[in-house]
Structure 1
Amino acid sequence: MRHLGQAGKIFTLSAVASVLVLSGCGSTPKPQSKPVAVNPTPIETTKVEENVTPEHKLLEAKKAWERTRDKNKRDALLLQAADLYIQNNQPVLAQQVLYEVKEDGVSNANNAYYSLLVTRTYAGMPDASPDALLAMLDSVDSTGETGYEKAQLQAQLYSQQGNLAAAANSVLKTNMPDAQKVEQVWQWVTAIPKESLAQVGETYPALSPFITLRKLTEENAASPAELARNLQQFQQVFRGHVLATSLPENVLEATQLTEAGANDIAVLLPLSGRLARTGQVVKNGIMAAYYTDVEKRQDEKLLPRLRFIDTHGADSQQLVDEIGSTKFVIGPLLKDTIEHLVPNLPIGVNVLALNRPDDLPVHGELKSPLDASATQVLRSDNKAEATALKQPSMQSEFSELGLPTSLNYYGLAPEDEAKQLAEFIFNKGYRAPIVIAAQSSLYQRMDDTFKKHWKTLNSAENKQRTNITSVTFNDSNSLREGITQALDVAQSNERINQIEYMTNDEVYNMPRSRRDIDAIVAFASPQDTELLNPIIEASLNPYDGKQVPVYATSRSMDYDSGKNQWRDLQNVHFIDMPWLMPSHKWQPLQKEVEQAWDNQNTMQKRLFAFGFDAYKLLPQLGMLNTLNYLSHDGLTGTLSLNQKGEVIRKQPQAIIRNEKVQMLSE
Structure 2
Amino acid sequence: MRGNVPEAWLNGMFRGVSLVLATACIGLSGCSSSPQQPSLGIDESTVSQGTPALLAQIRQSLDGGEFRNAALQLQLLQERQLTPQQQISMNLLATRLHLAVNETDAAAERLDALSELMPYASVQQESDISLLRASWYEAMAQYLAAARERDFLSAALEGDVKAQNHEQIWQDLMNIGELELLEWAEKSPDTQFGEWLQLAAISRNPGLTLDEHLQAVTEWQKQHPLHPAAITLPGGLALLSDLAANRPSSVGLLLPLSGPLEKTGKAIRDGFMAAYYESLNKGYDTPQVTLYDSQLYRDTSLAYVQAMMDGTQWLVGPISKPHVQALQDKDSLPLPTLALNYGDRSETGTTPANLYQFGLAAEDEAVQIAEKAWADGLRRALVLAPEGNWGERIYAAFEERWLQLGGEIGEHRFYPNRQDYNPEIKALLNVDDSQSRYKLMRRLLQQPTEFEPRRREDVDWVFMVALPQQARQIKPTLAFNFAGDLPVYATSHVYSGEADSRKDRDLNGVRFCDVPWLLEPSELHTSVENAVPGGQGKYARLYAMGVDAFRLLGRIRQLEVFPSSQMFGSTGALMLDSERRIHRRTECTVFRSGKPRRLAAD
2:271 aligns to what? 285
The question of whether the paired residues in 1 share the 8 Å contact of 2:251 and 2:289 is answered with yes
Q: 2:123 aligns with which of 109, 130, 147?
A: 147
Q: Deviations over 1:376-433 (max 9, x none)?
A: xxxxxxxxxxxxxxxxxxxxxxxxxxxxxxx532201222222222222232222233
Distance 2:587 2:507 in 1: 18
2:464 pairs with 1:529: no
For 2:459, what is the secondary structure of its paired residue? coil
1:510 aligns to what? 452
2:586 aligns to what? 651
Q: Give the drift of 1:97.
A: 7.2
2:314 pairs with 1:328: yes
Distance 2:157 2:499 in 1: 63
Q: Give the drift of 1:487.
A: 1.9
For 2:298, what is the secondary structure of its paired residue? coil
The question of whether the paired residues in 2 share the 8 Å contact of 1:123 and 1:133 is answered with yes
The question of whether the paired residues in 2 share the 8 Å contact of 1:549 and 1:571 is answered with yes
2:598 pairs with 1:598: no
2:37 aligns to what? none
1:181 aligns to what? 162
2:84 pairs with 1:111: yes
1:194 aligns to what? 176
Distance 2:322 2:339 in 1: 12
2:555 pairs with 1:566: no
Q: How has the CA–CA distance of structure 1 residues 517 and 353 changed in structure 2, closer, same or farther, with 3 Å as cutoff?
A: same
The question of whether the paired residues in 2 share the 8 Å contact of 1:12 and 1:93 is answered with no
The question of whether the paired residues in 2 share the 8 Å contact of 1:115 and 1:137 is answered with no
RMSD, aligned α-carbons: 4.6
Q: How has the CA–CA distance of structure 1 residues 456 and 625 changed in structure 2, closer, same or farther, with 3 Å as cutoff?
A: same
2:403 pairs with 1:455: yes
- Count matched residues: 542
1:520 aligns to what? 462
The question of whether the paired residues in 2 share the 8 Å contact of 1:554 and 1:574 is answered with yes
Q: 1:615 aligns with which of 538, 550, 557?
A: 550
Q: Give the drift of 1:231.
A: 8.1
Query: What pairs with 1:3-14 in structure 2 (closer than 5 Å)?
Result: 5=20, 9-10=24-25, 12=27
Q: Deviations over 1:453-511 (max 9, x none)?
A: 211221xxxx6xx1332122225487321211222222333344445556666555432
Q: 2:289 aligns with which of 289, 298, 306?
A: 306
Q: How has the CA–CA distance of structure 1 residues 213 and 13 changed in structure 2, closer, same or farther, with 3 Å as cutoff?
A: farther
Q: Deviations over 1:88-144 (max 9, x none)?
A: 869689757744542xxx5xxx432x224424653533488434444347535688x
Q: Give the drift of 1:354.
A: 0.7
1:130 aligns to what? 107
Q: Give the drift of 1:360.
A: 6.3
Q: Deviations over 1:626-649 (max 9, x none)?
A: 564443241x34445455544333
1:72 aligns to what? none
1:26 aligns to what? none
Q: How has the CA–CA distance of structure 1 residues 665 and 93 changed in structure 2, closer, same or farther, with 3 Å as cutoff?
A: closer
Query: What pairs with 1:214-293 in structure 2 (closer than 5 Å)?
Result: 214=200, 222-223=210-211, 226=215, 233=222, 236-238=225-227, 250-293=236-279
Distance 1:629 1:234 in 2: 24
The two structures have a TM-score, normalised by structure 2, of 0.73
Query: What pairs with 1:235-634 in structure 2 (closer than 5 Å)?
Result: 236-238=225-227, 250-297=236-283, 303-312=286-295, 313-324=297-308, 325-341=311-327, 343=330, 349-359=335-345, 368-370=352-354, 407-458=355-406, 466-476=408-418, 479-501=421-443, 507=449, 509-540=451-482, 547-558=485-496, 565-580=503-518, 584-586=520-522, 589-590=525-526, 593-598=529-534, 601-602=537-538, 604-626=539-561, 628-634=564-570
Distance 2:257 2:74 in 1: 69
For 1:455, what is the secondary structure of its paired residue? helix
Distance 2:126 2:429 in 1: 51
Q: Give the drift of 1:216.
A: 7.0
The question of whether the paired residues in 1 share the 8 Å contact of 2:465 and 2:490 is answered with yes
Q: How has the CA–CA distance of structure 1 residues 587 and 117 changed in structure 2, closer, same or farther, with 3 Å as cutoff?
A: closer
Task: Please tell me the residue identity of whatever aligns with 1:470.
Answer: H
The question of whether the paired residues in 2 share the 8 Å contact of 1:269 and 1:331 is answered with yes
Distance 2:73 2:498 in 1: 68
Distance 1:266 1:650 in 2: 27
Task: Please tell me the residue identity of whatever aligns with 2:287.
Answer: P
Please identify, of 119-128 and 480-489, the stretch whose mean Cα deviation from structure 2 is larger: 119-128
The question of whether the paired residues in 2 share the 8 Å contact of 1:417 and 1:553 is answered with yes
The question of whether the paired residues in 2 share the 8 Å contact of 1:141 and 1:147 is answered with no
The question of whether the paired residues in 2 share the 8 Å contact of 1:271 and 1:311 is answered with yes
1:168 aligns to what? 150
Q: Give the drift of 1:515.
A: 3.0
| 5+ residue gaps, structure 1 | 19-52, 59-77, 371-406
Q: Give the drift of 1:307.
A: 0.8
Task: Please tell me the residue identity of whatever aligns with 1:422.
Answer: A
For 1:124, what is the secondary structure of its paired residue? helix
The question of whether the paired residues in 2 share the 8 Å contact of 1:148 and 1:173 is answered with no
Q: How has the CA–CA distance of structure 1 residues 173 and 136 changed in structure 2, closer, same or farther, with 3 Å as cutoff?
A: farther
Q: Deviations over 1:313-348 (max 9, x none)?
A: 43243122122132222212123323434656667x
The question of whether the paired residues in 2 share the 8 Å contact of 1:571 and 1:655 is answered with yes
Distance 1:361 1:235 in 2: 48
For 2:338, what is the secondary structure of its paired residue? strand
For 1:649, what is the secondary structure of its paired residue? strand
For 1:513, what is the secondary structure of its paired residue? coil
The question of whether the paired residues in 1 share the 8 Å contact of 2:130 and 2:150 is answered with no
Q: How has the CA–CA distance of structure 1 residues 123 and 649 changed in structure 2, closer, same or farther, with 3 Å as cutoff?
A: closer
Distance 1:561 1:225 in 2: 34
Q: How has the CA–CA distance of structure 1 residues 359 and 503 changed in structure 2, closer, same or farther, with 3 Å as cutoff?
A: closer
Query: What pairs with 1:42-53 in structure 2 (closer than 5 Å)?
Result: none
Q: How has the CA–CA distance of structure 1 residues 268 and 345 changed in structure 2, closer, same or farther, with 3 Å as cutoff?
A: farther
2:599 aligns to what? 665
Task: Please tell me the residue identity of whatever aligns with 2:473.
Answer: L
Q: How has the CA–CA distance of structure 1 residues 100 and 539 changed in structure 2, closer, same or farther, with 3 Å as cutoff?
A: closer
Distance 1:305 1:412 in 2: 26
The question of whether the paired residues in 1 share the 8 Å contact of 2:505 and 2:595 is answered with no
Distance 1:427 1:452 in 2: 16
For 1:538, what is the secondary structure of its paired residue? helix
Task: Please tell me the residue identity of whatever aligns with 2:210.
Answer: A
The question of whether the paired residues in 1 share the 8 Å contact of 2:25 and 2:32 is answered with no
